[in-house]
Amino acid sequence: MKNQAFVIIPNFNGADFIADCLRSLEQQSIPLNIVVVENGSSDGSVELIESKFPKVTLLQQPKNLGFAGGVNVGIRHALENGAEFILLLNNDSVAEENWAEKLITALKQQPKLGIATSKMIANTHPAHIDSTGEQYSTWGLAFPRGRNSTDLDKYDDAKVSIFGASGGASAYRADMFTEIGLFDEDFFAYYEDVDLSFRAQLAGWKVAYVPSAVVHHQIGATAKKMRGFSTYQAFKNQPWVILKNLPFALWLSVWPRFALAYVFFMLSAIVKGKGLYALRGWLASVLFIPKKLVQRISIQRGRKVTASQLNSLLYKGLPSDYKNLHKLVYFYKRWL
């Protein structure tokens, strides 16, 4: 098992919390190859890891490669060293003792299962669900299933179909990476896991939720240190998910809704004083359209599922978390 299973932790200035993460991995019920991809931290993370966790493989990078670029460094290392299963974990998360074993067992039991994802619980008072898998709606919006619910057992039915997995706490079959490729490094951070899950689904791989695989997560602990970061990344990356992956047969039903939501989010960002970050994200997204269209051609050529099959996995309607957008849609329909 040790040679088969690698767990990758990307780290950028996570000295305040990565020690707890690594301790939880050293205490797992199965042996793991633990790999930290050090993304150019300046807070003493390297010294902490080298002094307290000598068995951890530390892959130091000269600059911050983001989540996507960082984990890709670790994934390539794992593949080169014979990995069969590759797990990803955020540096601000703590895994329960049987977390890795539960995810890997799920992958072993189902040959066409490419990704197994965890129950992520937010470290808040009271504790609430962070994610029980990722859903993708007919509005072109991805969202973590169950987020903010204080009923921690509400989504424990493992038989429910899940569209995608959070890159913050999931296990991946190495053969799937070999077939569909790694994370898209242009995303840097945010929605790169949705993009990968989308590509996996299109290629015929399945995604499963394993409720007994539990991690405790400090939501946004790294992103909070960088002003405007999440706003910029969201506006940059969201359109790419559709552009690369959505079959043409579904464009007419998804793109108009997404365009309405995108404009609404842009106006909201401006009102909140984050308009510059949002506009920069939109511009970056537009500049990469030619590259994403080329990627789309390759992805769609390898598609093994029909548009109808994919549509059956989509969440029908607007996610409940977008309350203000719900109000806008309500008034639009009322006065239409």
Query: Is the pLDDT reported for residue 237 higher than 80?
Result: yes
Average pLDDT over residues 120-138: 93
Residue 298 scores a pLDDT above 50: yes
- The predicted pLDDT at position 125 comes to 81
Determine the distance from the C-alpha atom of residue 203 to the mean position of all C-alpha atoms in its chain, rounded to a whole number: 18
What's the pLDDT at 327?
A: 76
Structure tokens at 253: 């039903």
Consecutive H or E run containing 29: none
Q: For residue 59, count other CB atoms closer than 10 A to its CB.
A: 17
Q: What is the pLDDT of residue 1?
A: 46
Residues 300-326: tens digit of each pLDDT? 999 999 999 999 999 998 887 787 787
Beta pairing class for 169-173 and 113-122? antiparallel
Query: What is the pLDDT, as a whole number, of residue 292?
Result: 98
In contact, 122 and 219? CB cutoff 8 Å = yes
What pTM does this model have? Answer: 0.94
Q: What span, in angstroms and rounded, lies between the C-alpha atoms of 36 and 58?
A: 5
Confidence of residue 333 (pLDDT cuts 50, 70, 90): low
pLDDT tens digits, one per residue of 1-51: 455 999 999 999 999 999 999 999 999 999 999 999 999 999 999 999 999
Instruction: Judge contact between 15 and 84, C-beta under 8 A.
Output: no
pLDDT at site 336: 39
Query: How is residue 185 written in tokens?
Result: 């490094």
Place of tokens 């540096």: 91
* Residue 303 contacts residue 203 (beta carbons within 8 Å): yes
Q: Which two tokens stand for residue 94?
A: 């703590």
Helix, strand and coil in the chain, % to nearest 5: 45, 20, 35
pLDDT at 330 > cutoff 70: no
What is the average per-residue pLDDT within 236-261? 96
User: How far apart (Å, rounded) are the C-alpha atoms in residues 221 and 124?
Assistant: 12
Q: In the chain, what percentage of residues exceed pLDDT 90?
A: 87
Closest CA to 265 of 253, 249, 248, 277: 277
Reported as a single tens digit per residue, the pLDDT across 60-117 is 999 999 999 999 999 999 999 999 999 999 999 999 999 999 999 999 999 999 999 9
* Three-class secondary structure of residue 55 per DSSP: coil
| Helix 275-287 / helix 251-271 crossing angle, nearest 10 deg | 150
Q: Mean pLDDT across the stretch 140-162?
A: 90
